[in-house]
């Protein structure tokens, strides 16, 4: 079976017995090995177990992980003086970056010979099931259908699953709700039938995707396409005319780009409709919806502006432009009219705007804009000059009113979609998958903003390890409630090593294998740094090679304060994921020190920075409060005809625990993002 499928299912706590694997002996021994090495308990399908699963699991949870700079981490690090730590670091840098010798992974000069006395360490049980390859294909088909129902862009892992499934099983989707997904399938598979899921105005997005994915060019105004790509785009445009998928009003919005594209591909009209289209794109008129909208706004005719948007684009477009429209209102009558036009059934837009308006700050504060392109997050914080010129300002009172109205709309749209639902109280800790396209894939990965309670008797050990690049840095930043930062990284840790936070040393010669770790004892950290509220963990490639050009994993373990003696202990791994973004920088996760909770971030940032401390992080704390606004519990509560307290009465069970239910009852776990995506897009 394709490794893409097995990896995807592993992240859902499912192992696959492949069809070509013969019945094996030593099944009991294999079950014991999975339990002993990884704390994996098989709850279903024990008879399908095979010994090759031991190798498969070890590759995903950590196999032959390289030693860190201080091989006796964390004990030996705390025994060294600040001067010794600094000298170790400088000596290593002299060899690597000074003399250019990266041939061997570096280790400490002062660290004494360390003999580990390893002992058994307590760890949480990981429940898995085993299914046959035939059943796996059916499960994957459900995942693919649910993902294709979503209107938001998919993560790289999700897209690869969809693309591979379509290719391997000759699957023809009934619908592809996301234009982004349809365009990426069209670009990567070069099957022109995927153009039937988009319209003419989307061709500009198609060209942008080809320009980036094939030519590494982010500027669509500077095209230099090969002849085969020009012919392909021409064929797509011809098919749009042939199948009646020309939305000319929307095409007016990108007239200049259309002009440039049509000239670049030497497009020649083959029908009367095509002639009219070319004349429209090359003419002086702009008949777009937004042109009508802006004209009405310039005339201070709020009602006409709202009507232009609502009739031309739908109520969701009104919602997306609320700040702009409301900031220009001059009468109560206009405000009331806007509110009356806010109703929409677009659940994703409602959830996004509910979060946005619930987090609106005072108009005197600089705004930070977060958006994604090419599955990387871009961030821009208003400059003082931009803040001074800003006109689209709404008050916090208006924002709270809008948030309240949007929540009412959302509740109305979702009401009674499901029958009797049992919702585990702990589901309040999990965020909805609203924008996960910048996320990396792996075991234990959850949606941005999801919180996991950390045991008070444990410490957190963050890790990263890599190959095929010399120097990757793991770093941590403490943030207080005033936004002040305390950096814990290779630049600062020589003077900050303690029982509260311990760093394994900066490895700068890890082409053949390197690793870095941080140990955080949250109880000790609170004592030493009482003002720090949050901690943010980052990975960056100091060697300035993108993550997708090397091999890099990151994740975390929960370890006993007095741990087993092993630096990397697979059975204690809570999450292990591959970082393979087209960037040098990624946010991993955070800690809320005041609630003792781990918080998922998992975002690839569009950046070429080599040092994490040089980037803005103020916007990150927005994700720390997402579950206070809406979460998996409240989402299913809105959909339930009745929330039941007895799990045996439920038709749908939403939980983060292993449960037994009657046949036909749907169970939705915290990692079942595909099912949530489908429900958010019905």
pLDDT in tens, 478-496: 999 988 999 999 999 999 9
Structure tokens at 14: 């499912």
- In the chain the first and final C-alpha atoms are separated, in Å, by 31
Task: Give percent above pLDDT 70 in the chain.
Answer: 98
What residues pair up with 551 in beta bridges, in sequence order?
467
From residue 668, how far is each of 84, 154, 200, 676 by CA, in Å?
52, 20, 38, 8
Backbone angles phi, psi at 194, to 5 degrees: -70, -15
621 in helix, strand or coil? helix
Largest CA distance in the chain: 83
**Does 362 score more than 60 pLDDT?**
no
Structure confidence at residue 436 (pLDDT): 84
What's the length of the chain? 682
**Does 497 score more than 90 pLDDT?**
yes
**Banded pLDDT at 417 (limits 50, 70, 90):** very high
367 contacts 360 by C-beta, under 8 angstroms: no
Indicate the pTM of the whole model.
Answer: 0.90
From residue 557, how far is each of 5, 123, 249, 587 by CA, in Å?
25, 9, 54, 17
Structure tokens at 676: 């949530």
**Does 24 score more than 80 pLDDT?**
no
Beta-carbon contacts of 357 under 8 Å, excluding residues fewer than 6 positions away, are 399, 400, 402, 403, 406
Domains observed in the chain? 152-246+254-282 (no CATH), 289-414 (no CATH), 418-430+630-681 (no CATH), 441-614 (2.60.60.30)
Structure confidence at residue 376 (pLDDT): 78
From residue 431, how far is each of 126, 448, 592, 664 by CA, in Å?
21, 6, 16, 26
What's the whole-number mean pLDDT along residues 599-611? 84
Cis peptide before 24 (omega within 30 of 0): no
Q: What is the mean pLDDT of the chain?
A: 91
Structure confidence at residue 620 (pLDDT): 87
* CA–CA gap between residue 161 and residue 158 (Å, rounded): 5
**Does 113 score more than 70 pLDDT?**
no
Structure confidence at residue 40 (pLDDT): 94
Helix (H) or strand (E) holding 636: helix 632-639
Report residue 17 CA to chain centroid gap: 29
Q: pLDDT by residue (tens digit) across 302-322?
A: 999 999 999 999 888 888 898
**Does 613 score more than 90 pLDDT?**
no
């Amino acid at each position: 079976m394709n490794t893409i499928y097995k990896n995807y299912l592993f992240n859902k706590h499912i192992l696959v017995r492949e069809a070509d694997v013969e019945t094996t002996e030593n099944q009991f021994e294999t079950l014991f090995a999975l339990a002993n090495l990884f704390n994996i308990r098989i709850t279903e399908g024990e008879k399908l177990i095979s010994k090759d699963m031991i190798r498969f699991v070890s590759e995903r949870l950590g196999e032959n992980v390289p030693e860190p700079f201080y091989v006796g981490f964390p004990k030996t690090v705390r025994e060294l003086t600040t001067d010794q730590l600094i000298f170790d670091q400088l000596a290593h840098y002299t060899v690597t970056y000074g003399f250019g010798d990266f041939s061997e992974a570096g280790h400490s000069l002062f660290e004494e010979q360390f003999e580990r006395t390893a002992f058994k360490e307590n760890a949480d049980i990981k429940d898995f099931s085993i299914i046959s390859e035939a059943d796996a294909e059916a499960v994957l088909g459900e995942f693919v259908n649910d993902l294709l129902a979503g209107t938001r862009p998919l993560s790289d892992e999700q897209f690869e699953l969809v693309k591979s499934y379509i290719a391997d099983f000759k699957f023809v989707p009934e619908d592809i709700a996301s234009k982004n997904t349809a365009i990426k399938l069209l670009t990567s598979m070069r099957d022109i039938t995927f153009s039937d899921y988009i319209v003419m105005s989307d061709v500009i997005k198609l060209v942008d995707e080809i320009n980036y994915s094939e030519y590494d060019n982010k500027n669509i105004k500077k095209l230099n396409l090969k002849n085969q790509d020009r012919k392909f785009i021409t064929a797509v445009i011809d098919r749009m005319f042939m199948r009646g998928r020309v939305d000319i009003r929307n095409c007016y919005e990108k007239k200049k780009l259309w002009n440039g594209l049509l000239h670049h591909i030497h497009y020649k009209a083959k029908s009367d409709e095509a002639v009219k289209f070319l004349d429209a794109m090359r003419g002086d008129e702009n008949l777009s919806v937004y042109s009508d909208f802006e004209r009405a706004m310039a005339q201070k005719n709020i009602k006409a502006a709202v009507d232009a948007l609502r009739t031309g684009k739908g109520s969701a477009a009104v919602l997306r432009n609320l700040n702009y429209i409301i900031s220009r209102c001059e009468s109560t009558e206009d405000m009331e009219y806007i509110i009356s036009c806010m109703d929409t059934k677009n659940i994703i837009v409602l959830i996004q705007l509910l979060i946005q308006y619930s987090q609106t700050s005072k108009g005197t504060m600089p705004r930070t804009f977060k958006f994604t392109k090419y599955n990387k997050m871009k961030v821009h914080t208003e400059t003082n000059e931009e803040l001074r010129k800003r006109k689209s300002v709404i008050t916090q009172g208006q924002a709270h009113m809008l948030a309240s109205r949007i929540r009412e709309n959302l509740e109305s749209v979702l009401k009674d979609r499901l029958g009797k639902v049992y919702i585990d109280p702990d589901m309040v800790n999990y965020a909805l998958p609203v924008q996960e396209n910048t996320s990396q894939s792996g075991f234990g990965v959850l949606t941005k903003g999801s919180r996991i309670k950390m045991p008070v008797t444990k410490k957190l050990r963050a890790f990263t390890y890599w190959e095929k690049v010399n120097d990757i840095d793991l770093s941590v930043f403490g943030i207080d409630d005033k936004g002040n930062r305390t950096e814990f990284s290779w630049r600062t840790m020589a003077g900050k090593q303690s029982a509260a936070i311990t760093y394994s040393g900066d490895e700068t010669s890890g082409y053949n294998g390197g690793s870095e770790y941080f140990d955080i004892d949250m109880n000790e950290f609170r004592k030493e740094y009482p003002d720090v509220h949050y901690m943010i963990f980052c990975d960056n490639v100091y060697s300035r090679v993108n993550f997708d050009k090397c091999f890099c994993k990151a994740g975390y373990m929960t370890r006993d304060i007095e741990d087993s003696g092993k630096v990397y202990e697979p059975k204690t791994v809570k999450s292990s994921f591959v970082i393979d973004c087209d960037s040098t920088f990624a946010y991993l996760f955070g800690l809320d020190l005041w609630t003792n909770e781990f918080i998922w971030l998992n975002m690839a940032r569009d950046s070429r920075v080599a040092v994490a401390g040089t980037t803005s992080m103020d916007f990150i704390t927005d994700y720390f409060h997402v579950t206070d606004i809406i979460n998996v519990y409240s989402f299913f509560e809105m959909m339930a005809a009745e929330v039941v307290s007895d799990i045996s009465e439920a038709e749908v069970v939403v939980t983060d625990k292993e449960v037994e239910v009657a046949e036909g009852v749907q169970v939705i776990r915290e990692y079942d993002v595909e099912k949530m995506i489908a429900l958010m897009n019905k």
